[in-house]
Structure 1
Amino acid sequence: MANKPGLPAVGWRELVHLPGLGLPPIPAKIDTGARTSSLHGHVIEEFEREGEKFVRFAVDFQDLDQRVLCEAVHVDVRGITSSNGETQRRYVIKTPMRIGDIEFRAEISLADRSDMKFPMLIGRSSLRRRFVVDSGHSWLQTPERKTKVGHKP
């Protein structure tokens, strides 16, 4: 199917906002080879609130020497295959995500990304029917990008 005209373009990296989690903007790598988006987070506990499943987790921003505790709706625990071909069981949350001016609810797996350059990866499920990817550019939806947000440039 051809791309719909008028979809905004994202570069190979963008600043992502997760307004429901209380996190600062997060630099993320756009990865059309990954199905599910992924966030660097350490699960602390599962709990229920008003009959709905939640997970509490910590997100560490090493460059800012900051740890943020978050809570989100717990959707599932899934086997997700990482880039090295290894399948890991990961918690999957659902929360609002904003890239540029477009906000939507996204499923995000929580993973140990401490060895990765970017604390977040945006997979094709979050991109589909919302954005086209221009892999030759960066920060197309983030012209005001700050260099000290979440990681070193």
Structure 2
Amino acid sequence: MTAARAARQPTRIGWREIVGLPGLDIPSLHAKIDTGARTSALNAVIIREFERDGIKWVEFDVTFTEDRHVQRCSAPVADRREIRNTSGIPQLRYVIETSLTLGSRRWQIELSLADREPMKFDLILGRTALRNRRICVDPGRSFLSGLPGHPTPDIIRSA
């Protein structure tokens, strides 16, 4: 396949991937790709709003389901809006903007902060984060994009 043709091909990802959130100093975490969800959601608890230089910020803890370690993060508040949870019940949530790394690709996304402790994945990656990124989700596959910040191995790319 020529380089020009490969550039036009959508990036194929699985229903679950390992992604990075470098803007939050999170090099990797497990994400479920959920095209049924509009907004992406990060597992965040102990959320505290504060002001820095006249701008609203939030500070929050991310607990990683894989090894249960906790990381304190902070980010400017992009919005605060009602978002329906998995049961369809609206919840008022903080929304932040940060960078996402998926394989060797990186772009800005919106993340809502929600207590996802009982859920299996630390991050739900919704359709708005994937829109206009030339991404095709293969629901029968997992971990197609490789580790965040690394090129996808050719053997997986052609599968």
Q: What TM-score comes out, normalization by structure 2 length? A: 0.82
Alignment match, 2:98: 95
- The alignment's C-alpha RMSD in Å is 1.8
Aligned with 1:142 (options 128, 141, 146)? 146
2: CA distance, partners of 1:22 / 1:5: 31
Do the aligned partners of 1:43 and 1:55 also contact (CA within 8 Å) in 2? no
1: CA distance, partners of 2:84 / 2:29: 23
2: CA distance, partners of 1:63 / 1:133: 23
Whose Rg is larger? 2
Give, in angstroms, the shift of residue 43 of structure 1: 4.1
Give, in angstroms, the shift of residue 44 of structure 1: 2.9
> Any stretches of 5+ residues in structure 1 without a counterpart?
145-153
- 3-state secondary structure, aligned to 1:104: strand
> Is 27-36 or 75-84 further displaced after alignment?
75-84
Residue type matched to 1:38 in 2? A
- 3-state secondary structure, aligned to 1:20: helix
Aligned with 2:48 (options 22, 45, 49)? 45
Give, in angstroms, the shift of residue 23 of structure 1: 2.0
Change (3 A) 1:30 1:81: same
| Matched positions, count | 141
Change (3 A) 1:138 1:94: same
Alignment of 1:18-29 (within 5 A): 18-29=21-32
1: CA distance, partners of 2:124 / 2:47: 21
- 3-state secondary structure, aligned to 2:49: strand
Aligned with 2:108 (options 105, 108, 119)? 105
Do the aligned partners of 1:12 and 1:138 also contact (CA within 8 Å) in 2? yes
Give, in angstroms, the shift of residue 108 of structure 1: 0.2
Do the aligned partners of 1:73 and 1:95 also contact (CA within 8 Å) in 2? no
Residue type matched to 1:128 in 2? R
1: CA distance, partners of 2:52 / 2:65: 31
Q: What TM-score comes out, normalization by structure 1 length? A: 0.85
Give, in angstroms, the shift of residue 24 of structure 1: 3.9
- Give % identity: 45
Change (3 A) 1:137 1:110: same
Change (3 A) 1:31 1:51: same
